[in-house]
Structure 1
Amino acid sequence: MTNRMQSEMEEADILQEIRDAGLNLGMPAGGYSDRILKRLQEEARNKRLKLPGKVRRPLFARRMIAVTVASAMLCAGIVGSGFVSPVMAAALRNIPVVGGLFQDVGKSGLKKASEAGLTTVPEQQDAQDEITITISEVAYDGIRLSMAIEREGAEGLNMVNRDRVEEHPAKGYLGYPEMYLGDTKIGYRTRTLNEIASTDQAGKVGFSDKILIAEFENLSRTDGGDIPDDFEMRVLIPVTGIEQPYEFVIPVKKMLNGITLSPEKSQSNDEFAYTVQKVILTPAMTKLIVDTKGFAPDAGPLPKGHKLSAVHFEIINEQGEGVEQEYTTFEHGLPPVMSHSEETYAPFDQRPKKLIIKPYAFIIGSDWLPVLDENGNDSKVYYDDLELKIDVKL
């Protein structure tokens, strides 16, 4: 065994080491390896996600065994426990463990959370009438619940009915999931079904017909109780053309180390005022809750046909490092005089000591979109006199 390279390791050798390590860690004989073998068989049966425009090289069976075993052993804490041979441990550490789908198709915050092991990967699957639905990965940071949902058996069909065909829609469109904690329905304030952009072999941009990400913010129980940090959730997903909803029971675990700041600090000039009500920092996102009054302050002469957008906000830390905003909306017309908004950004890599809120406005063209500068970036006007500093205190 000590002279074998990783590529020469046989399945029997791997499984024997797992059995030995499992016994030394107090696991039932055969039980752990049996679960791994069952998982391998499931992987062999399941056709994994293939996004249009991407080519993935096939993996040999032995490679798949090694990757799956590595994942299982790392999760169980067997590698590094001293109960596997040095060669086995070294080989497993050199195998790239397959991550969750958020690492491939999620927003930057979901990617970071998945890479840090802060998500759950239930791989729960239900099949009806030749269509299979899988909940592949779940993230919950106490504010937003995200689910990566895969579909097989309806290739070429969008994941959601974007054309809003009400009468006799095609079979296979996904509707909004319903969520339950026991028998109690889980409510939410906002919900979205985010389709994943992709390109086909000809380079045409469209949406994936295999995966979407469902997101829900500010969960609540309809019986008034609290949402626990760690729970099992029953999920029902309706699909057009299928009589019964697809049903799943998935584990949900809240990410730790999130904080909520309530500074209620304001800044203003003669034309514009705003108040930062809250800033929420989690491992998966940064959220700014702000009230505004007035219009973007005058920025001097603008070219004919150009105008200023509503005021938006950047957030940077004490090192001058910013976080990317998830999305920005533009009004087709004058922005409202008063607004209450919740802006979502990527998470900071490290918890900041200080936050600096930087108000700005886009220069908008006749098409109601930002004008590009000479470098191809959106043209912006910053208002240094309206900057606001917030100390991050626990």
Structure 2
Amino acid sequence: MKKPFNENSTLPEFPRDEVRTAIANGIKQAEEQKNMTQKPVQIKRKSKRKPLLYVASAAAAFSIMVGSAAYVSPTFASTLSQLPIVGSVFSNSGYLGLKQASEQGLTSTIGEKHTINGISVTIDEVLYDASNITVGLTIDSEKKLGDYYLGAGPNFTINGKNPKVSSGGYGEKVLSSTVRTGIARFEVKEDMPDSFEMGLTLEGKEGEKWEFSVPVKKITNTIDVPVNHQQQAEGIQLDVSKISLSPSGIALDYKASEKGTIDNSQVGASFIEFRITDQNGKEITSHSGGGEGHFDNGEWNFSSTKSFDPISSNVQKLMITPYLVIPSGGGGVHVDIAGVETKIPFNKPCVKEVKFQPFTVELPKQNK
């Protein structure tokens, strides 16, 4: 039985090496079983060119980032504020995909805990799916904690190296003045490996630094559905390449381009979102997602993976409607190579509404 977050007993030292070995052995065993029944997965490699990264949350916050960083998502903060006090961070997150993945054993249970200055941070669970790496954590302190004591949440590394670019969200649920839970999301890029050693670093307001290293592996029970839909609207070229279906949700991959100038990335193509409904008109909850973009030969090119709730097995087709979410507020942070952060003020973009055409995707028999 899981112990309460605020139990005052003295816990034994966390057996980090034993837990990491057990997780690594489990991943190795799963890989061997997979290789007996499936062909190896080929990973698409993107250009080594470092793109200019933008991040836009569902709550219409906008930022531009270079390097590795994270931003606080109002969507996460709002959802996590409804968490119950007891239970698994994922199971009680308010996100159907996280709850379903956790209950089906698709997440990696970590349980690694470090304490600095009387503040304990525990990495509880990790899920690596087609669109995000999601980390559930708990914070238990001997003293009262201020709001967002850990700032914008953890940064992460891949096999000890910083990713070229990263974006994501972080939100906390305050359970008491000394205990809270948090969920961090890092969006998956095309050139990320299917398994790797993930490093996590969190920094407190008083200079504390919590560091973790855990093995993670992308879930394999995912169905890729080719879409290959293209359309033009008001100078925007949109290309939806595929959607991926898994117990943790729907991932929609797209690219969009639009002519512009290098000093203004806030063109319509940077604000694209999608509404998905099933054959009965029921809307599938969207969790938005950030993305990346670069300017080349007079044109802005953006790409992203948008995430949605999972769907039931009786869904036969999906109606997808692109639209623009033009932010009315927000901001961001720029992180240079040395890790120095500079706040980016919000400037309301001058973008007009665009009418896209909805399109239908027939789902394969495996999902029926």
TM range (shorter): 0.5 to 0.7
Aligned counterpart for 1:194 among listed residues 164, 170, 177 = 170
- The C-alpha deviation readout for 1:239-297, integer Å capped at 9, x for no partner, is 34345x32334353432321333432224578876432332323223232334578xxx
State the partner residue of 2:188: 218
**Secondary structure of 1:250's aligned partner:** strand
Q: 1 or 2, which has the higher helix percentage? A: 1
1:106, 1:250 → 2: CA distance? 25
The answer for unaligned runs of 5 or more in structure 1 is: 1-39, 49-97, 161-171, 201-206, 295-309, 330-336, 369-380
Figure out how many residues of one structure are paired with residues of the other and give that number.
Answer: 245
CA 1:291–1:250 in 2, change beyond 3 Å: closer, same or farther?
A: closer
Matched, 1:179 2:150: no
Amino acid at match of 2:358: E
**Secondary structure of 1:121's aligned partner:** strand
1:218, 1:233 → 2: CA distance? 13
Query: How far is the alpha carbon of 1:135 from its aligned partner?
Result: 0.7
Q: 1 or 2, which has the higher strand percentage? A: 2
Aligned counterpart for 1:239 among listed residues 185, 193, 204 = 204
Query: How far is the alpha carbon of 1:199 from its aligned partner?
Result: 9.2
- The C-alpha deviation readout for 1:153-202, integer Å capped at 9, x for no partner, is 25331225xxxxxxxxxxx6575333353xx43626433341235698xx
Asked whether the 8 Å contact 1:158–1:208 carries over to 2, the reply is no
**Secondary structure of 2:109's aligned partner:** coil
State the partner residue of 2:73: none
Mapping for residues 22-171 of structure 1, pairs under 5 Å: 43=3, 47=6, 100-153=88-141, 155-160=144-149
Matched, 1:257 2:221: yes
**Secondary structure of 1:326's aligned partner:** coil
* CA-based RMSD: 4.4
Asked whether the 8 Å contact 1:278–1:290 carries over to 2, the reply is yes
CA 1:155–1:226 in 2, change beyond 3 Å: closer, same or farther?
A: same
Asked whether the 8 Å contact 1:197–1:208 carries over to 2, the reply is no
- The C-alpha deviation readout for 1:27-60, integer Å capped at 9, x for no partner, is xxxxxxxxxxxxx6x837x526xxxxxxxxxxxx
Asked whether the 8 Å contact 1:188–1:217 carries over to 2, the reply is no
- The C-alpha deviation readout for 1:326-364, integer Å capped at 9, x for no partner, is 2499xxxxxxx97745333222233844332134578x9
Query: How far is the alpha carbon of 1:126 from its aligned partner?
Result: 0.6
**Secondary structure of 2:161's aligned partner:** strand
Asked whether the 8 Å contact 2:222–2:246 carries over to 1, the reply is yes
Asked whether the 8 Å contact 1:188–1:216 carries over to 2, the reply is no
1:107, 1:208 → 2: CA distance? 24
CA 1:327–1:142 in 2, change beyond 3 Å: closer, same or farther?
A: closer
Asked whether the 8 Å contact 1:140–1:146 carries over to 2, the reply is yes
State the partner residue of 1:391: 362
Query: How far is the alpha carbon of 1:316 from its aligned partner?
Result: 2.3
1:151, 1:140 → 2: CA distance? 22
2:286, 2:95 → 1: CA distance? 11
1:208, 1:316 → 2: CA distance? 41
State the partner residue of 2:286: 325
CA 1:251–1:100 in 2, change beyond 3 Å: closer, same or farther?
A: farther
CA 1:354–1:251 in 2, change beyond 3 Å: closer, same or farther?
A: same
Amino acid at match of 2:170: N
Amino acid at match of 1:144: N
State the partner residue of 2:35: none
Aligned counterpart for 2:249 among listed residues 264, 275, 285 = 285
